């Protein structure tokens, strides 16, 4: 069994829920390439379909989440968000953000239990869907870039190929492919999980490496470096041994104290920018984030218990800050308000220390459950590499409430847990 064997679909017929997960796994990177906003409605339709299938098959009761820690954490976080939003002074806007966030959380709650009804016979179909969608997305991106380069080589220059276009291309590569590169990177690790399950680690490494190289080629640095770094981190996590979970939770606790660490260190962005080259696009991105993190940290300290309410990162700073200006780099990026480019800071900003504590409890619970259920080294490495890559994107790129990205995270974790199941004993399927 290798990557090429997935060109042809499995011979058995999947269950309706298993087939839906297979289609969703295939569609995710393709939707991110075409229009990332389509991920949310497509996933919602898929979840509704799976709920209907479960109802028709008499399995609806099996979809209930019985983990009290998870339900208490989610409920507490929503109540905390509502309280923070109610006293924020911007209730109409905060209410809209809160309803949106609650809807996305409910969608996530419904995705995870649906995976319980995926049988062992369905798993090859889910693997086929993920790998097929990933490979098609990679081929489409390669074709797009080569076609553009061929047009330029032959002298065809559409109107959009002006000096501004080439300037931004030289700095940030094909940045409009960022959503596709992000989902593609996560999908490569999920596909690697499917191959590792069938004892094909070399095929998994080749596929992941090809994806990382493609992401680097189109200029998606976080995706290309993140894939490799996440896999290395997961291997290191496995090698730590029996105390791995305790060390992971301790490290995560320190990360959740990031605003307090930044405040105590009297951190100034100019201290970083003074040592970087303005001609380097990576340096521009780093300094831009330093300024945002500094601004957000100051705002967090003003309301550190309950925060500024849902959606606050889009409201704060509009009048008094505006464009980000660095003494060495000049004007940088978008004007504030923007999301903080760091999920921990955003949780603190919008829901305060109480919200950050509840978010920590939820993530710690997921890590604990994942560690308990990992029977083999390959399971632990695969599952934690996906989690590490998601954390990487949340640490540097995306808003925690970005609709398409949050739904992508839910689907990715659900599909990874499906593909991380061990192979059943010979003759025992279903």
SS3 per residue for the chain: CCHHHHHCCCCCCCCHHHHHHHHHHHHHHHHHHHHHHHHHHHHHHHHHHHHHHHHHCCCHHHHCCCCHHHHHHHHHHHHHHHHHHHCCCCHHHHHHHHHHHHHHHHHHHHHHHHHHHCCCCCHHHHHHHHHHHHHHHHHHHHHHHHHHHHHHHCCCCCCCCCHHHHHHHHHHCCHHHHHHHHHHHHHHHHHHHHHHHCCCHHHHHHHHHHHHHHHHHCCCHHHHHHHHHHHHHHHHHHHHCCCHHHHHHHHHHHHHCHHHHHHHCCCCHHHHHCCCCCCCHHHHHHHHHHHHHHHHHHHHHHCCCCCCCCCHHHCCCCCCCEEEEECCCEEEEEEECCCCCCHHHHHHHHHHHHHHHHHHHHHHHHHHHHHHHCCCHHHHHHHHHHHHHHHHHHHHCCCCCCHHHHHHHHHHHHHHHHHCCCCCCCCCCC
- Domain range list for the chain: 14-238+403-419
Write down the pLDDT at residue 5.
56
Distance between CA 178 and CA 9 in Å, rounded?
29
pLDDT exceeds 50 at position 349:
yes
Residue 430: its pLDDT value, please? 46
What average pLDDT does the segment 180-199 reach?
93
Nearest to 399 by CA among 314, 285, 288: 314
- Report yes or no: 194 and 417 within 8 Å, Cβ to Cβ: no
Residue 421, pLDDT > 70, answer yes
Of 140-144, 229-233, 268-272, give the lowest mean pLDDT range: 268-272
Task: Give the number of other Cβ atoms within 10 Å of residue 154's Cβ.
Answer: 8
Residues in a beta bridge with 326? 330
CA angle 133, 6, 2 (to 5 degrees): 120
Q: Does 134 score more than 90 pLDDT?
A: yes
Highest mean pLDDT among 23-37, 88-102, 142-156, 161-175: 23-37
Handedness of CA 110, 113, 119, 125 (dihedral sign): positive
Give me the pLDDT at residue 1, please: 46
Q: Residue 332: what pLDDT?
A: 67
pLDDT at 85 over 60: yes
Q: What is the pLDDT averaged over residues 196-205?
A: 89
Predicted confidence (pLDDT) at residue 2 exceeds the cutoff of 60: no
Q: Could you give the CA distance from residue 357 to residue 352 in angstroms, rounded to a whole number?
A: 9
Q: What percent of the chain has pLDDT over 90?
A: 39
**What does the pLDDT average to over 29-50?**
94
How high is the pLDDT of residue 391? 92
pLDDT of residue 334: 62
Range of weakest confidence among 17-21, 237-241, 273-277, 422-426? 422-426
Average pLDDT across the chain, whole number: 84
Decide: pTM greater than 0.85: yes
Burial of 349 (C-beta count, 10 Å sphere; 0-12/13-18/19+) = buried
- The listed range with the strongest mean pLDDT (78-87, 93-102, 232-241) is 232-241
Check pLDDT > 70 for residue 333.
Answer: no
For residues 414-419, give the mean pLDDT: 94
Q: How confident is the model at residue 317 (pLDDT cuts 50, 70, 90)?
A: low
Q: What pLDDT, on the 0 to 100 scale, is given for residue 216?
A: 92
∠ CA 354-355-361, rounded to 5°: 95
Q: Mean pLDDT check: name the lowest of 21-35, 120-134, 307-321, 382-396.
A: 307-321
pLDDT at 429: 47
What average pLDDT does range 289-300 have in this prediction?
Answer: 84
Lowest pLDDT segment from 154-163, 252-261, 417-426: 154-163
**What percentage of the chain carries pLDDT values higher than 70?**
87
More confident residue, 165 or 82: 82
Confidence label for 335 from pLDDT (cuts 50, 70 and 90): low
pLDDT over threshold 60, residue 4: no
Look at residue 278 and tell me whether its pLDDT is greater than 80: no
What value does the mean pLDDT take over residues 401-423? 90
Counted residue by residue, the chain has a size of 430
With 80 as the cut, is the pLDDT of residue 205 above it? yes
**Position 299 pLDDT exceeds 70:** yes
């Amino acid at each position: 069994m290798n990557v090429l064997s997935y060109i042809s679909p499995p011979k058995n017929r999947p269950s309706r829920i298993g087939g839906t997960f297979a289609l969703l796994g295939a569609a995710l990177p393709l939707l991110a390439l075409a229009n990332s906003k389509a991920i949310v409605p497509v996933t919602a339709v898929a979840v509704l379909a799976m709920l209907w299938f479960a109802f028709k098959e008499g399995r609806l009761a099996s979809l209930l989440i019985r983990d009290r820690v998870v339900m208490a954490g989610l409920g507490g976080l929503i109540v905390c968000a509502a309280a923070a939003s109610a006293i924020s002074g911007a209730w109409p806007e905060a209410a809209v953000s809160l309803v949106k966030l609650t809807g996305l959380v409910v969608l996530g709650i419904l995705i995870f239990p649906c995976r319980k009804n995926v049988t062992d016979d369905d798993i090859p179909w889910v693997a086929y869907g993920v790998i097929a969608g990933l490979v098609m997305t990679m081929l489409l991106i390669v074709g797009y870039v080569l076609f553009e380069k061929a047009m330029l080589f032959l002298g065809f220059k559409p109107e959009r190929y002006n000096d501004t276009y080439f300037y931004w291309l030289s700095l940030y590569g094909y940045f409009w492919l960022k959503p596709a590169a992000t989902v593609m990177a996560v999908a490569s690790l999920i596909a690697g999980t499917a191959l590792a399950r069938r004892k094909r680690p070399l095929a998994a490494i080749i596929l992941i490496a090809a994806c990382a190289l493609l992401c680097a080629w189109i200029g998606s640095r976080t995706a290309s470096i993140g894939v490799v770094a996440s896999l290395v981190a997961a291997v290191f996590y496995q090698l730590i041994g029996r105390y791995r979970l305790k060390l992971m939770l301790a490290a995560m606790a320190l990360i959740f104290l990031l605003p307090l660490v930044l405040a105590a260190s009297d951190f100034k962005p100019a201290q970083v920018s003074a040592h970087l080259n303005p001609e380097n696009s990576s340096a521009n991105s780093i300094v831009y984030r330093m300024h945002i993190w500094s601004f957000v940290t100051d705002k967090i300290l003003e309301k550190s218990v309950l925060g500024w309410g849902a959606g606050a990162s889009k409201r704060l700073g509009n009048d008094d800050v505006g464009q980000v200006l660095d003494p060495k780099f000049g004007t940088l990026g978008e004007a504030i308000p923007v999301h903080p480019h760091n999920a921990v800071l955003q949780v603190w900003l919008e829901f305060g220390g109480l919200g950050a504590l509840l978010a920590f409890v939820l993530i710690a619970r997921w890590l604990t459950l994942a560690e308990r259920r990992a029977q083999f080294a390959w399971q632990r490495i695969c599952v934690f590499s996906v989690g590490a890559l998601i954390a990487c994107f949340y640490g540097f790129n995306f808003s925690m409430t970005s609709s398409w990205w949050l739904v992508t995270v839910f689907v990715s974790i659900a599909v990874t847990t499906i593909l991380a199941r061990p192979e059943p004993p010979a003759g025992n399927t279903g």
